[in-house]
Amino acid sequence: MGYYADAGSTSEQEPFPAYGPVDSLLSFAMFYVFVDRATPTIVDVLTDAIPSVSPSGVGFAIAALLWFIFVVTLVDMARHQYEALASRPSGESDQNFYGRSMPDTTLFVVYAAVVVVGGVVAAWTFERVYDELETAMLEAWDNVSETKADLDVTWRDAAYVVGITRIAEAKESRGLWP
């Protein structure tokens, strides 16, 4: 199949790109279904099969792989769309071809540059976000662990006590609200 699909039986209709928005939406939907459904299962299976492997490490590896595939797919889709818009269907005269609106190469390069810069910024800020998240999680763990030891309750009850204490402190500091 070429870059264009047959638009119908009438000669007045323009051909449309064969690789279009429906394919893109289906690809993204499958990506998110895989992330939501399959990733936890894969993490559980691998950590059960190999006990020395950390579940967070497996999850991070799968997420990194999926995001790499996602970015490669996005670039491939953009390339296909650009080629479909820039290529001439067979049988089209020069007058019709050059009269059509062509994609702006400068705009395409600007969009690609924005995506690359955004990716670089995300990569640079990842470590800071990870450190802050780790600090917050360790602090929460320490609070729950200390409450469990002080009150001699289960982990769940200790987590509830910590949560309710935070709510009470917030309500007390902000005053009466609803």
User: Is residue 72 located within the same domain as residue 135?
Assistant: no
Q: Does the structure show a pLDDT above 90 at 22?
A: no
Task: Say which range, 92-96, 135-139, 155-159, has the weakest mean pLDDT.
Answer: 92-96
Over residues 64-108, the pLDDT tens digits come to 887 787 788 778 777 777 776 665 555 555 555 555 555 567 777
Total domains, the chain: 2
Task: Say which range, 100-104, 107-111, 136-140, has the weakest mean pLDDT.
Answer: 100-104
**Boundary-marking domain end, from 101, 126, 156:** 101
| Residue 119 pLDDT level (bands cut at 50, 70, 90) | confident
What is the rounded average pLDDT of the residues 34-47?
A: 79
User: Is residue 95 located within the same domain as residue 108?
Assistant: no
Rounded to two decimals, the pTM is 0.36
DSSP-derived secondary structure for the chain: --SEE---S-TTSPPEESS-HHHHHHHHHHHHHIIIIIHHHHHHHHHHHSTTS-HHHHHHHHHHHHHHHHHHHHHHHHHHHHHHHHSPPTT--HHHHHHSPPPPHHHHHHHHHHHHHHHHHHHHHHHHHHHHHHHHHHHHHHHHHHHHHHHT--HHHHHHHHHHHHHHHHHHHH----
- Structure-model confidence comparison of residues 161 and 114, the more confident one: 161
Q: What pLDDT was estimated at residue 20?
A: 60
Domain that holds residue 91: 1-101
**Boundary-marking domain end, from 52, 71, 101:** 101
User: Is residue 111 located within the same domain as residue 148?
Assistant: yes
User: Is residue 171 located within the same domain as residue 136?
Assistant: yes
**Boundary-marking domain end, from 79, 101, 123:** 101
User: Is residue 7 located within the same domain as residue 55?
Assistant: yes
User: Is residue 115 located within the same domain as residue 94?
Assistant: no
